[in-house]
Structure 1
Amino acid sequence: MPQSPWLNITDNSDFSIYNLPYGVFSTATRRPRVGVAIGEYIIDMAAVAGRGKFHDLKVPLEVFEASSLNAFMHLGRARWKAVRQRLIQWVSQENSPLEQLKGECLIRQSEARMHLPVQIGDYTDFYASEEHATNVGTMFRGKENALVSNWKHMPIAYHGRASSIVISATDIHRPKGQIMPKDAETPAFAASQKLDFELEMAAVIGKDSELGHPVLTEEAEDHIFGFVLFNDWSARDIQRWEYVPLGPFLGKNFASSISPWIVPLEALQAFQTDGPEQHPVPLPYLQKNNPRNFDIQLEVSLQPEQGEKQIISRTNFKHMYWSIHQQIAHHTVNGCNLRVGDLLASGTISGKATGSQGSMLELSWNGEQPLQMNSGIHRSFVEDGDTICMTGFARKENIHIGFGEVKTKILPAL
């Protein structure tokens, strides 16, 4: 694919012409609206549509003037593809309509404020990494009982809280809740001392399914608009006390953070790859025939308030035991319906190698082996003033596709 020199996009840009992710932005003079990232710029899709450039594709101006992508997603995959192909054509050639309108339709990302890209109806968090589940199980139940008996038979999940999902660069306060102190007989109400991040990816649902009708694994892609980076914050001490018998609640629902740009599924097709072999063989409704995982490299960095930024974890989305296609099939097998704007988070992504764990709980082994930072300080869990930043990218030959970042600073408890 040729690259037009008028855009001046660097080879390692997250937002190359192969990517073209969607988001919602505003400026001092433009209210929130739909944009597409390209290099250092944002294509103001409302401004382009206002010039009639998508009229023949039957994409109304209103969907790009909206403050979320839900209306655009409701148009369906055929329209998504048509708009994407037109943008690829415009950014790949000289003297295109986009170049002619660049003064009106191209905004520097540095001048924009990003917003939640979708109106989120429901949010489900899975537990789909065998390495993560094994590590956590080993800590709390011992090596022989690391995985519970149902784990390799179905993608485990819980329904989370959509209202507390925030965009990158939104600071969050340390949560409070009930905690059972060591050797105590009664719980105490206190700020969490074991605040943790969880490195995840989340699929954005772009097509409704019908109540009562399961979605098959081979149909799952029809419902995926794209992916974002996802940080599912966790208060491990609150969670440990409350999770029996019904699972996560206050230890999880205080905040989750997402990256602002949704990378379309079409941009990631070249990075599909086989996932791990599954033993025992899943039940028929969870079986798959084609490559289903995605080769996306992920990193987590931690920056203390008065210290330097340091990468503390590197892993890959391809390690997931249960694929997003299997997650969707299991989510809907009982007739539960998906709705446009839903988020399905992967669960913590961990690898086998040292330093590839996707949470502080694992990296510090529940605080028993604190991380030593380059500055000489140690971290068992995330402390006040720390900034956690997650990034991700996929690379193949000359194709580079990035997800930007999801970045959050922790403030003291209120």
Structure 2
Amino acid sequence: MSYRDMRNFTEMMRALGYPRLISMENFRSPNFALVSEILQWLVRRYDPNAELPMDTDTEQDRVLFIKSVAQFMATKAHIKLNGKKLYGADGYAVKELLKIASMLYDAMRSNQNDRAGVKPATIEQFDITSKTSDLKLVRQLASEITEHGSSLSALLKQEVELQEMRVAVIARPLELDEIERELKTSINQVHGKTRESVHRLENLAGDEANLEARIEKKKQELERNQKRLKSLQNVRPAFMDEYEKLEGELKRHYEEYIERFRNLTYLEHQLKELNRIEQEKLEATNLSLQEMQRRMQEQEQHLHGGINDTFALTGDSGVEHDDEEEDEDEEDGEDDDEEEEEEEGEIRGKGGRRVFGNMTGEGLDDEGGSSLTTEADSEDIDNGHLLGQDGDEDDEDVLGAYGDEHDDDGGDGGIPDMGSDDDF
């Protein structure tokens, strides 16, 4: 029973005018008195002249009442009711009562519509799509009727011949010998079947004994297997101790493997991070070096441009200031000689050697290479000590001092080929 069925039944009974109020809780437990009362009222509502047994005190009376109601509704209203569910008088009986109540409720609604002047359905309102299944059924039945009619017509055509044969057989006199022979044959067949049945009955005892013996044998085998199973369960295997020991070692090694694998993975991750950081630093350094090289090239080009301009200026006014420059050069030469003597003394004390040349790498020129300019060269250029002015005189003094030193040491007095600024 569903809540919807119970609600629909109560509403229909209220609309039909049932004098008693029906609650949804009336059918939670079996209530045959209420079910019998509702059935009597519904049957009287359908046919006031219907005769039903009214006694429902004993079990036989209740069964007779349910049967009479079910038979009446099946013959009069063509409604099939389930007597077991009605006899149960519980929620399942509501579904059966709902069949009768819905039929009466639909009839009442149609009668009310007719009284209200509702027009009947016309041809325009008739929808044939709802009768598609009925149309298929009608076609199937029509084909079956045609087949049965043709077969019946063929049989009726043969009826004349069959009737003559049937009359001839009936009119033929009975032959006692043939009847006796058929009876003896039937008796022999019955005796054979009887003997076969008796033989089976005789062998039944032996078959029963064989089956009992086999059953007993199977029981004994089952008991032996059960005892063996218990003994195997109680006995400890020979290598169980070693197995447990190896299992413990395996567990320990596995834990160690997991720990090492995790550490290795972590270290690989850290190594990748360090490599990435180093790569980023290297790229940053390369970028800074390239930027520095670019700035130094710009400075060098700027300085070379300034030197060329200076040479041009000095070339034009060199004739006028020769005397003054010679005097200044003599004074500067004396001062430079004193300073070089002091520097040579320091170099001799330290045992070192001066190297002459420029800071340009081998194979690199000012135009295509990346020549580097030191801070000292930059300072010399800023102070006005250009190449080719005072550098040659200083280099000659130093080389002369170096030759004197070798003369004092007992050498041949030759000057080693150390190169000059002109070589570059």
Greater relative contact order (Cα 8 A, min sep 6): structure 1 or 2?
A: 1
- Please, what TM-score do these two structures have when normalized by structure 1? 0.16
- TM (normalized to structure 2)? 0.16
If you compute each CA radius of gyration, which structure gives the higher value, 1 or 2?
A: 2
Structure with greater helix share of residues: 2
Greater share of strand: 1
